[in-house]
């Protein structure tokens, strides 16, 4: 009795899993980019003090302003990560 070996089954296409993993990584990165400055800005006991001053501005104020700038930069980065090359409401890609 001869036993014939069959050819191995073809490997599944890894593209869908890879695309899903990249999408998940983007979502996590976006969460960190927006969530970190917001969470730090809401954690008042971390920066409720006078010093160190920066150009005569107490730490309380310049820390809040730096978190506002970081949140704005994070929001812009998230927009570029998630919607880069996407069509707008009029069917035109942003220039």
- pLDDT(40) > 60: yes
What pLDDT does residue 66 have?
Answer: 92
pLDDT for 36: 92
Tell me which residue has tokens 């006991």. Answer: 45
d(CA 41, CA 65): 9
Average confidence (pLDDT) over 10-34: 78
Q: Output the CA angle 19-22-28, nearest 5 degrees.
A: 145
| pTM over 0.75, yes/no | no
Q: How do residues 43-86 score in pLDDT, each as one tens digit?
A: 888 888 888 888 888 988 898 999 999 999 999 999 988 887 66
Degrees, nearest 5: CA angle 38-44-46: 100
Q: Tell me, what's the pLDDT at 44?
A: 87
């Amino acid at each position: 009795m001869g036993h014939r070996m069959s050819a191995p089954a073809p490997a599944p296409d890894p593209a869908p899993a890879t695309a899903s993993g990249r999408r998940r990584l983007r979502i996590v990165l976006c969460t960190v980019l927006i969530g970190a400055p917001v969470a730090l800005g809401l954690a008042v006991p971390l920066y409720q003090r006078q010093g160190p001053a920066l150009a005569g501005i107490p730490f309380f104020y310049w820390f809040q302003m730096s978190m506002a700038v970081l949140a704005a930069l994070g929001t812009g980065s998230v927009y570029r990560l998630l919607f880069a090359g996407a069509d707008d409401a009029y069917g035109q890609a942003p220039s």
